Amino acid sequence: MRKEAQSGETDMQTQILDEREKSILRKEQRCRGGGINCESASVSGAVSQRACVYCGARVVLNPITDAFHIVHGPIGCASYTWDIRGSLTSGSTLFRNAFSTDLQERDIIFGGAEKLAAAIDEVMQTYKPKLIFVYATCIVGVIGDDVDAVCRKAEEQYGNRVIPVKAPGFAGHKAEGYRMACNALLALLKPHAASTRRLGINILGDYNLAGEMWIIKNYMREIGVPVIGSFTGDACCETLLLAPQAFLNVVQCAGSMLYLAQRMEEQFGIPWIKASFFGIEDTTNAIMNIAELSGDKGARARAAAFTGRESSLAARDVERYKAHFAGKKAAIFVGGGFKAISLIRQFTEMGIETVIVGTQTGKADEYEVIAGLVNSDAVILDDANPAELEAFMKEKGADILVGGVKERPLAYKLGMAFCDHNHERKHPLAGYEGVRNFTKEINLSVNSPVWRYMYPAF
Ligand code: SF4
């Protein structure tokens, strides 16, 4: 229910639905010691910024470069393609193709299983792929095609993996799709559990946007701890199957991959850590922690020398921009809480105050860390909607919004600078190189003269 405007209430207060109040942590609630409502279903009618279950699954699996992705559903679901999620590849480019069974009214009435079987046959006979993911989207969840049976039969017939991802958009929210994708990866890995470990790690939750996985791999090469499996940026079927040999799983995007790390610990005995490669402090900590856990003295020494050198060079470059950031305020709305934490730290390193922090799928412990990093009057939101974001950006006088494709128009409508920290960006923001790119981009955006010519939004 939408709150009615009372005399004396600001516009912002009238934008908040009663049911959303507990998902927004403001100063007064924090003073009372209340937590935030999170990890729950979106409020019906609130126009959540969250993606659907299918999109959550697709974002995790799509970067596997030699996999085929067949979307069993109406053609609209298949509009989610490589073109809007630009993971780079050092090998196959098969993943840049999109396939759909293009379900029509007739299929919905009489069932679409035959059409799916024919689509798999065509892909197998034309491309002979090692791995196919079949996504069942909303309408298939309603009509109940037996997608498992079709995939199982195709595996038996062709001897290649055909893994169903039953992800109707309505079955929860984006985080449920992450879990389904992780289960699909587990189904792939399970027959390849290794009995011996070796010096090497898996990176979980990096999607090689603008080559970020390559930056991390270079760092690991520098300290002598190789990356065995990458989930899923620049991954291919062959390298994924080696992942059970790693001594450690390093989880970068906790929102999407923490579940996989936990299951791999249970099933393969591989321990995991969370590590972020965004910002100087977090990048340095990530490299040092990995070196420490490798138990290799040489790796520790190389990591200390490398991070010492690179962090001071990056800090010197950030320092040069600090005068341009004086008095600037940032708003953050990203997918997961762990990334938001890194971004707050990064803005602090740059001398920018974070006044709004929101995530699509943050967890209670992550929101606690966030509350400890920002000033007491910063607003923290779980699963925000456009009206809330706009209202709080106006109220807090934010100068720049960091988000993804769905947030960009919100900022521009308000005559505010924007930085894309999601899957469409074309330059890397991870590692020390990323620190330089991020600092330059924020400076160019927030100090652009264009904002002086915009209509006054607030
Ligand atoms: S909500 Fe349903 S119909 Fe829409 S993209 Fe997601 S799976 Fe497809």
pLDDT digits (tens, 9 = 90+) for 10-42: 555 556 888 999 999 987 777 777 789 999 989
Residue nearest to atom 8 of ligand 1 (CA): 77
pTM > 0.95: no
In the reported structure, the alpha carbon of residue 408 is separated from the centroid of ligand 1 by a whole-number distance in angstroms of 22
Q: Which atom of ligand 1 is nearest to the CA of 138?
A: 2
User: 327-425: which CATH topology?
Assistant: Rossmann fold (3.40.50)
Q: Which atom of ligand 1 is nearest to the CA of 80?
A: 5
Residue 5 has pLDDT above 80, yes or no: no
Residue nearest to atom 3 of ligand 1 (CA): 138
Per-residue model confidence as pLDDT tens digits over 102-126: 999 999 999 999 999 999 999 999 9
CATH 3.10.180.10 correct for 193-313: no
Average pLDDT value for the chain: 92
Per-residue model confidence as pLDDT tens digits over 272-323: 999 999 999 999 999 999 999 999 999 999 999 999 999 999 999 999 999 9
Residue 47 has pLDDT above 90, yes or no: no
Q: Which listed CATH number (3.40.50.1980, 3.40.109.10, 3.40.50.12170, 3.40.640.10) goes with 53-180?
A: 3.40.50.1980
Q: Do domains 53-180 and 327-425 have the same CATH topology?
A: yes
Provide the edge-to-edge strand list for the sheet that holds 131-136. 99-100, 67-72, 131-136, 161-166
Alpha helix stretches (DSSP H) within 323-454:
337-350, 364-373, 386-396, 408-413, 431-446
Q: Which of 55, 108, 134 to mutate to test the pocket of ligand 1 (most atoms within 8 A of CB)?
A: 55
Strand partners, 329: 353
CA distance 434 to 431: 5
Q: Where are the domains of the chain?
A: 53-180, 193-313, 327-425
Would you place residue 458 in the very low, low, confident or very high pLDDT band (cuts 50, 70, 90)? low
In the reported structure, the alpha carbon of residue 435 is separated from the centroid of ligand 1 by a whole-number distance in angstroms of 35
Q: What is the DSSP string of 204-241?
A: EEE--BTTHHHHHHHHHHHHT--EEEEEETT--HHHHT
Per the rule left: phi > 0, alpha: psi between -120 and 50, beta: everything else, 257 is alpha
Cα 394 to chain centroid distance, Å, stands at 26
In the reported structure, the alpha carbon of residue 212 is separated from the centroid of ligand 1 by a whole-number distance in angstroms of 29
Pocket of ligand 1 (CB under 6 A): 52, 54, 73, 77, 137-138, 168-169
Average pLDDT over residues 356-385: 95
